[in-house]
Structure 1
């Protein structure tokens, strides 16, 4: 049974605990800067409490590492994990600062970067994966339009907004990664629009809560991503791939297969799921299973640190597009988005 060093004991760490157990692994060590949080989660998982990240990572009982702390701590912990020479899965983003992430890749090299798994769990969602596989298999011919919709049931706490990195880096980054995995070709331009209409307080904190991004792929295919921090009818997560021969759709799963057929409710289906763990719980487990399998076999991770920086690249371009109110032509990871 693979032992995991879990760095973090907050919400995402608890999500990973459930997936680690479901995947047949165990929590070996836990570290969180808040000692009481570490102790509480360790008591629930029979794990060893550690008092530094290095101690948790280097413990002999830990064969792999999962980093599930706040975004602004990831890069420092990743350097520590590389020193420990153990496989690591890091929640997105790799770094709170884009240039820090690029420097990290340069410092450790591409080979080491490919051994780092980035937590884009939505790639493991069955519906989304089926769309991706269908596009790659040519089921709809040439892809012409890709539309990705992600809407949360409600906004995060206001205190989270200033440290989130912004909607593009925190929320839409999942959709940037999904788009890249489906189209499998370079994106040449990005145009972003955004506003704060769900909660004006989010705007006062310098962020947006409603956004759309249009991207153009090298062959002319159009990618549209829609995000909102609020959705009155649940957790809205859909993908539509439209091509020369037809269309593939990953729709919202529903709470049940129940449908009402009456004069008042003709053909009314059950509501969609309301919470991200209801929607993506199985994908987190599949992500952990894949991470553990690659760790044991010494394989490159299917979603690695380079993928993480490519998604971050699109997030930075979108941030710059919104700020400067212009389309951003993409030239490479070294592009400076501060002076476009």
Structure 2
């Protein structure tokens, strides 16, 4: 697979535009675009020099498309992943793998576990420089035995209300990144999930059946405790932090700042510059790193380091958290193919 790899980009919305920029930054090119919203597809194709396909199948089959990136709505991911795999093309699928645990299971069952490990799942926060450094430090034993992991993820503003009913819910749409990060740091599965959530930022989100403020506690098989905090609103920007505490110390991945300025005055005694505004400012570089790694693994025929099986496991934790919130109980875990048990 050459450096200037041609990619079929499925989707032309916000996340597809993020991936289009990352493809170019990683040295690839968008060869063909498909989106049922033809005006959006035309606009993205014009910006990238790509052609517009009439159908997703046409885009996948395009002769110049050596790989496929899926950035469509969550409810379309499974069928498109299956189509790309069956076409014999490397595929990167934006999170989540599917809009439900049942569909995630169906995807893995259809393509097979070996193929599933060659589907790159877009948990791009694994490739953020700070988060990756924290993970390396934990795995290298810098803090001794990991005892507590705290993951904080707060968006600057809630999503549009029309998005809420089709999002799958906060656990599946937002916290799913943090479930994956917890698994990546601990390198073990969890034995229980306990969730709390409320709708206190915008009561309309609650009326639409979702929450906007949540905490989840995961218990690792070795006794390590993971706490995940999510909020749909943060007055000071995009709050993305991880703290790993262990028997020999602690490491943190903090919020990057807009610049290195620190202000000293009576009103601002040592106040640093603001944190970054939203996900593209924070994670733009990690999207490009994700694409580069995807193309390298595809070229070498390797399993993807974060793959469809990781997508299944994140969906499993999201489903367990949803059930815990609904029932007000701790959910005990025995594997993604097993039924949940509560205590």
**3-state DSSP class of the match of 2:324?**
helix
Q: Which of 65, 70, 73 is the matching residue for 2:73?
A: 70
Residue 237 of structure 1: aligned partner: 240
Asked if residue 18 in structure 1 is aligned to residue 12 in structure 2, the reply is no
Residue 89 of structure 2: aligned partner: 86
CA contact (8 A) 1:316 1:337 kept: no
CA contact (8 A) 1:3 1:28 kept: yes
**3-state DSSP class of the match of 1:65?**
strand
CA contact (8 A) 1:320 1:338 kept: no
**3-state DSSP class of the match of 1:79?**
helix
Residue 282 of structure 1: aligned partner: 285
Q: Distance in 2 between matches of 1:338 and 1:48?
A: 50
Asked if residue 293 in structure 1 is aligned to residue 296 in structure 2, the reply is yes
Q: Which of 251, 260, 266 is the matching residue for 1:248?
A: 251
Aligned-pair CA distance for 1:40:
1.3
Asked if residue 7 in structure 1 is aligned to residue 10 in structure 2, the reply is yes
Q: Distance in 2 between matches of 1:336 and 1:75?
A: 22
**What's the TM-score once normalised by structure 2's chain length?**
0.97
Aligned-pair CA distance for 1:148:
0.2
Alignment of 1:26-175 (within 5 A): 26-175=29-178
Aligned-pair CA distance for 1:304:
0.4
Q: Distance in 1 between matches of 2:196 and 2:278?
A: 26
CA contact (8 A) 2:104 2:311 kept: no
Give the ranges of 4+ consecutive aligned residues of structure 1 lying more than 6 Å apart after TM superposition.
Answer: none
Aligned-pair CA distance for 1:263:
2.6
Q: Distance in 2 between matches of 1:138 and 1:168?
A: 30
CA contact (8 A) 1:190 1:321 kept: yes
Aligned-pair CA distance for 1:264:
2.5
Q: Greater shift after overlay, 239-248 or 326-335?
A: 326-335
Residue 198 of structure 2: aligned partner: 195
Aligned-pair CA distance for 1:338:
9.7
Aligned-pair CA distance for 1:339:
9.0
What RMSD in Å do the two structures reach over aligned CA positions?
A: 1.1
Asked if residue 319 in structure 1 is aligned to residue 327 in structure 2, the reply is no
Asked if residue 258 in structure 1 is aligned to residue 251 in structure 2, the reply is no
Q: Distance in 1 between matches of 2:105 and 2:309?
A: 9
Q: How many pairs align?
A: 340
Task: Map Cα deviations across residues 253-297 of structure 1 (whole Å, 9 max, x no partner).
Answer: 011110012233111111111111000000101001101111111
CA contact (8 A) 2:331 2:342 kept: no
CA contact (8 A) 2:146 2:246 kept: yes
Q: Distance in 1 between matches of 2:144 and 2:224?
A: 12
Task: Map Cα deviations across residues 211-248 of structure 1 (whole Å, 9 max, x no partner).
Answer: 00001101101000000000001000000000000000
Q: Which of 208, 212, 215 is the matching residue for 1:209?
A: 212
Q: Distance in 2 between matches of 1:339 and 1:86?
A: 41
Residue 222 of structure 1: aligned partner: 225
Q: 1:23 to 1:57 in 2, by over 3 A?
A: same
Aligned-pair CA distance for 1:337:
4.5
Runs of 5+ unmatched residues, structure 1: none
Q: Distance in 1 between matches of 2:338 and 2:232?
A: 29
Q: Distance in 2 between matches of 1:106 and 1:312?
A: 15
CA contact (8 A) 1:151 1:235 kept: yes
Task: Map Cα deviations across residues 136-193 of structure 1 (whole Å, 9 max, x no partner).
Answer: 0000000000000000000000000000000000000000000000001121000000
**What's the TM-score once normalised by structure 1's chain length?**
0.98
